[in-house]
Amino acid sequence: MMENRGVDFILVHGLVTGTGGDVIGMRYVHAWVELGNIVIDTSREMNTPVIKAKNNYYEIGKIKASETKRYNLKEVADMVLKYKVYGPWEIKATKEELAYEKTLT
């Protein structure tokens, strides 16, 4: 059995609005971790993790709670086993995101 040992990290998949680079202004599916009211974002494009207050992170990324899916440790393990990928599992890519991905190939 998996234990959190009192730490309630939550993996979140959600739609965000890009704030820089090639994705500025674009809505796309993103992932981050929440620990209480703190967000930890370790995107591969960043050299160091971003750690922000949850309300500030949601405001900057124009994130709506209704457009997120939240997973505890057991749910993450179950979804990885089911889908064989790290996500996103239940949120579909936007048309903007799909069009952008085509430009990368």
pLDDT digits (tens, 9 = 90+) for 26-60: 999 999 999 999 999 998 666 789 999 999 999 99
| pLDDT higher than 90, residue 89 | yes
Beta-carbon contacts of 71 under 8 Å, excluding residues fewer than 6 positions away, are 10, 11, 12, 13, 79
Beta-carbon contacts of 29 under 8 Å, excluding residues fewer than 6 positions away, are 13, 14, 15, 16, 88, 91, 92, 93, 94, 97
Q: What is the pLDDT of residue 103?
A: 82
For the segment 8-23, the average pLDDT, to the nearest whole number, is: 92
For the segment 83-102, the average pLDDT, to the nearest whole number, is: 89
